[in-house]
A and B are shown apart, each in its own frame.
Chain A
Amino acid sequence: MPEGTLCNKQPIDTAEGITTLLADKSGKKYYEEMKHLEVDSDLLWKTIQNTCKSRIRTWLEICAHCGMCADSCFLYQVDGRKPTQVPAYKIQSTLGEIIKRKGKVDADFMIHCMEVAWSQCTCCNRCGMYCPHGIDTGIMFGYLRGLLYQQGFVPWELKIGAGMHRVYRAQMDVTDADFVDTFEWMVEEYEEDFPGITVEVDKENADIMYTVNAREVKHYPEDLAEAAILFHIAGENWTVPSKGWEQTSLSMFAGDWAACKMQVESVYGAMERLRPKRMVGTECGHAHRATVIEGPYWAGRKDGLPPVESIHYVEWLAEALRLGKLKIDPEKRIKQKVTLQDSCNYVRNQGLKNAAREIMSYIVAPGYFVEMAPNKEHNYCCGGGGGFNGIGLYRAQRNQALQKKRDQILDTGAKLVVAPCHNCWDAIRDLEEEYEIGIEWSFLKPLVIKMLDIPEHLKPKEDDL
């Protein structure tokens, strides 16, 4: 059987396709079919010849096999320092081998590559900073994921996730109408507490166009209201687009580059339509990476930049606090040991280490903020990055991967972890569930709202209450 009915080389482009695949619980039949999925070696080799150019080829060739990358990888550390978890080995024995064999590999080998690409690398890019030759294995695994996706060897959830982007331009089945309705409804809920609060959809020439993670719409609508409250109190001239509001990209995790392009172009389309001064994205790491850092390249933008200046939520919040648009009541600052999770996607991969620390300096009483070690660009992945959180097939490996973050948090002695990233937030929630170390975790928005010093004119009037 060259192609399965569920597991095949075709991307999912219809809502029915998504429903059908979802009905195959945990991808049981999907993975069964994968064992018999034929590898199109000609296509594989042709794709490699067209897309694997001097950067990756040189990396694979000049790797000195020195092993200095070993200790940089948290998955190597938590897996009993197994030599097979050394980054250089992982990529040489997968992508390196496919190239060596000119694409002539079988389904078993591709399934092995899939396991390595999605359960032994979160594309955190930490190893790239420890290689004397500057070899970034995370980038190569991203590339390998693209080859595997093209051949149909991709974890079930990510095949679905990429399909969601193709069908809904969102990582979940959230329609544009769902988004607008939910946002408006959530804002209405707070009209009494914050008189004058409103969300204007599709307002042109606003100072800020806000974009989100579809999970917020579906599972955490409170987050939308919190964003609105903070923009309202800060007096921002802001809007949300009715189309192109989703910043995330499970297609990036899946290696579905065509879907990545479709998704990011929907956001850029909104920018071009509404012409805001800036785009601000929610507290998500990979969403920022996809839309702001990698997205311009998928969309073919030669300057490597989105159509308008696009910043992460931590940059906006730090600025609002710095400029006094938002004021913190010193009495309400955090007075317990608290630590900060640096997201790989916008700290290691865009250098935004200072913004979140600046925010911490406003919201934490002096002496209570404890850094993780290592931190900033050298911080370890939360344990669930690169799609790892969402893949049922590799849940055991993911849970093991959480141990590094668990130990880092335990070493700080903090009982509260600030995680301005959905993936990190999820991973830390799961690590508490798995290992019960007695911690709490939070995004920035709810913490800041609780300690705001709200100007009189924005407070509800006595007789309104």
Chain B
Amino acid sequence: MYAVLTGPVFYLSLAVCFIGMAVRFYLYFRGLSWQLDRVAYKAHPKAGFNGAVRSIYKWLIPFGTYGWRTQPIMTIAFFCFHIGAVAVPLFLAGHNVVLQQKLGFSFPTMGAAMADFLSWMAIAGLLFLVLRRLVLPEVRILTDKKDWGILLLTFLPFATGLAARYQAGDYGFWLTTHILTGELLLFAIPFTKLSHIFLFFASRAQLGMDFGIKRGGMKGTKMAW
């Protein structure tokens, strides 16, 4: 089982995730239409580029936009979760040993204490998001089974990873389930709302171009939309 998961399935999950998202990225931008979207993307590349970059950049920064600032508690929970969810998988020392072995490259790594901290921070953020879904009527009405599925898919690699990290019970079991759930997540990315991991950049870039070209950018507005 372990051999299969760290062998062919490992490569397959990465391939499905990255090729799948490359295809979706391509289809997204190919599907943009200046006339249907009513945005002259090609006629004003500079204004469009500036708008897109500003929009992505500002929304990636905690409290970087008016929108984030109006909902501070949500913003804190959101970033606690997302910083952990992005940084831990990419920069955990253990993950990078595997990356080096399997693919011949690795990212800079973080210390164990930092990884623990970010992981718990992500779990705390995620639990807050769950709580929000349960408690707030305006979020509850939007929530469907898929939303819970995605939260579970995201929660499992963290939970199993931490269980393995603290060697709670059978280390081998937790490690195997950690790899399994991590790969499941990778498989799911292109086919579910998890695609937002990549499509966030596409969607934000589009609205940034829209405002940057048509809705203020060319009149000198420099805000992030």
Contact in complex: A86, B142 (CB < 8 Å)? yes
Q: Is B176 in the interface zone, CB < 8 Å from A? A: no
Q: A293-B215, A303-B43, A377-B216 are in contact. Are A58 and B28 (CB under 8 A)?
A: yes
Interface segment among A60-68, A208-216, A389-397, A448-456: the answer is A60-68
Selected from A67, A135, A300, A350, the residue in CB contact (under 8 A) with B35 is: A300
Bound: A217/B39 CA distance, A: 33
> In whole angstroms, what is the CA distance A35 to B132 when docked?
39
Taking CB atoms and an 8 Å cut-off, the chain A residues in 240-277 that contact chain B are none
Given contacts A293-B214, A297-B35, A351-B219, 18 further A-B contacts (CB under 8 A): A53-B37, A64-B147, A65-B147, A66-B142, A67-B139, A70-B139, A84-B141, A86-B138, A132-B200, A134-B55, A135-B207, A136-B207, A136-B210, A296-B40, A304-B38, A348-B215, A350-B216, A353-B221
Most chain A beta-carbon contacts within 10 A, residue among B29, B32, B44, B215: B215
Interface-side segment among B64-72, B98-106, B160-168: B64-72
Interfacial chain A residues near B39, Cβ < 8 Å = 304
Binding site for A on B (CB under 8 A): 27-40, 42-44, 55, 59, 66-68, 70-71, 74, 78, 129, 132, 136-144, 147, 193, 195-196, 199-200, 202-204, 206-208, 210, 213-217, 219-221, 223, 225
Q: Contact size class for A?
A: 35 or more
Q: With a CB–CB cut-off of 8 A, which chain B residues contact A133?
A: 196, 200, 203-204
Enumerate chain A residues within 8 angstroms of B129, measured Cβ to Cβ: 66
Q: Would A53 and B32 be within 8 Å (CB), given that A132-B59, A350-B215 are in contact?
A: yes
Question: Can you name 10 A-B residue pairings with CB atoms under 8 Å?
Answer: A54-B30, A64-B147, A134-B206, A302-B42, A304-B44, A304-B213, A349-B216, A351-B215, A351-B220, A353-B221
- Nearest B residue to A133, CB-CB: B203
CA distance A57 to B225 in the complex (A): 20
Complex Cα–Cα for A350 and B218 (A): 8
Say which residue of A65, A132, A302 sits within 8 Å of B139 (CB atoms): A65
B203 contacts A134, C-beta separation under 8 Å:
yes
Q: Which A53-84 residues have C-beta < 8 A from chain B?
A: 53-55, 57-59, 61-68, 70-72, 76, 81, 83-84
Knowing A53-B36, A54-B31, A304-B214 touch, does A68 contact B196 (C-beta < 8 A)? no
Known: A61-B195, A62-B199, A81-B138. A71 touches B220 (CB 8 A): no
Q: Which residues of the partner chain A approach B225 to less than 8 Å between Cβ atoms?
A: 128-129, 134, 377
A368 → B minimal CB distance (Å): 27
Q: Does the CB pair A302–B40 fall under 8 Å?
A: yes
Say how far A348's CB is from chain B's closest CB, in angstroms. Answer: 7
Which of A53, A65, A72, A76 is within 8 Å of B142, CB to CB?
A65
Q: Does A194 contact B (CB under 8 A)?
A: no
User: Which of B195, B199, B200, B207 has the most CB atoms of chain A within a 10 A radius of its CB?
Assistant: B207
Which chain B residue has the least Cβ–Cβ distance from A51? Answer: B36
Chain A residue contacts of B36, Cβ below 8 A: 51, 53, 55
- Give bound CA distance, A149 to B196, whole Å: 32
B147 to chain A, nearest CB (A): 5
Q: Closest A residue to B74 by CB, please name it.
A: A68
Which residues of A have CB within 8 Å of B193?
61-64
Q: A300 — which chain B residues lie within 8 A by C-beta?
A: 35
Cα(A134)–Cα(B208), bound, Å: 8
Give A298 Cβ to nearest chain B Cβ, in Å. Answer: 8
Q: Is the CB of B142 within 8 A of A89?
A: yes
A54 to B34, CA, bound (A): 12
CB-CB nearest in chain B for A315: B219
Tell me whether B137 and A68 are in contact (CB under 8 A): no
Residues of B within 8 A of A302 (CB): 34, 40, 42-43
> Could you say which residues of chain B place their CB within 8 Å of the CB of A419?
none
Task: Decide: A62 and B44 in contact? CB cutoff 8 A.
Answer: no
Q: A88 to B193: give the CA distance in the assembly, Å.
A: 15
- Flag if A297 contacts B216 (CB, 8 Å): no
CB atoms of A351 and B216 under 8 A apart? yes
User: What is the bound-complex CA distance between A300 and B36, given in angstroms?
Assistant: 10
In the bound complex, CA of A128 to CA of B147 (Å):
21
The distance in angstroms between the C-alpha atoms of A71 and B216, with both chains bound, is 23
Contacts of B59 in A (CB 8 A): 132, 134
Task: Compute how far the CA of A71 lies from the CA of B72 in the bound complex, rounded to whole angstroms.
Answer: 13
- The docked-state distance in angstroms from the alpha carbon of A303 to that of B31 is 19
CA–CA, A148 and B46, complex, Å = 36
Cα distance A59–B199 when bound, in Å? 10
Measured between beta carbons, the chain A residues less than 8 angstroms from B140 are 83
CB neighbours (8 Å) of B142 from chain A are 63, 65-67, 86, 88-89, 92
| Given A62-B199, A84-B141, also A55-B37 (CB < 8 A) | yes
CA distance A206 to B171 in the complex (A): 83
Contact B196 A62 (CB under 8 A): yes
User: Of B43, B44, B71, which is within 8 A of A71 by CB?
Assistant: B71
Q: Which residues of B contact A89 (CB under 8 A)?
A: 141-142
What distance in Å separates the Cβ of B111 from its nearest Cβ neighbour in chain A? 30
Q: Given known contacts A68-B74, A297-B35, A302-B40, is B199 in contact with A58 (CB within 8 Å)?
A: yes
Question: Contact at B71–A55, with CB atoms within 8 Å?
Answer: no
Can you name the residue of chain B whose Cβ is closest to the Cβ of A303?
B43
| Interface pair B67/A130, CB less than 8 Å apart | yes
**Smallest Cβ-Cβ distance to A57: which chain B residue:** B31
- B195 near A62 (CB under 8 angstroms)? yes
CB distance from A285 to the nearest CB of B (A): 13
A contact residues around B199 at 8 Å (CB): 58, 62
Q: Is A352 an interface residue (CB 8 A)?
A: yes
Q: A53-B36, A83-B138, A297-B35 are in contact. Are A59 and B203 (CB under 8 A)?
A: yes
